[in-house]
Amino acid sequence: MAPQVSSPPEAHLQEARLLGRLLDLYEEERQIYVRILELSRDQGDRLRAGAPLNQVRSLLEQKKNCLDMISRLEKTEYRTKLQWEEGRHRWSASGRGRLHQMLRDVATLMETIIHCEEQNDMVLIEQGGVL
């Protein structure tokens, strides 16, 4: 059986469907990362203010729940991501550009979170605290 080649209209529809799902996925993840950043900043504020460690642990648990949610989202769209990757040579430059911009936005948030977490770790180390 010969491999099926999508006609241009079918390829366009497939691109639109996959791109829409991936953009929705990464927007949802972006919003969760924004929440994680808020929690990380709150954690740093509390550490610097000498808040009880149980308050900090509560924030850590909330961040863990957010990361678990992202993991579940990633699993639900695994197939979509695979289909996008397999067809990447057929997708429009604008579609690829939109997806790459969204991924850059998410990556920038992740880098900001990592920086914030490193600062939080330094505060905790300076205070001699253990979570």
Q: Flag whether 15 is in a domain.
A: no
Per-residue pLDDT tens over the stretch 72-98? 999 999 999 999 999 989 999 999 999
Average model confidence (pLDDT) across the chain: 92
Q: Flag whether 57 is in a domain.
A: yes
Number of domains in the chain: 1
**Could you tell me the CATH number of the domain that includes residue 37?**
1.20.58
Structure tokens at 32: 């969760």
Residue 15 reports pLDDT greater than 90: yes
As a whole number, mean pLDDT of residues 19-30 equals 98
- C-alpha separations of 12 from 6, 56, 81, 114, 118 in Å: 9, 48, 16, 37, 44
Which DSSP symbol is given to 91? S
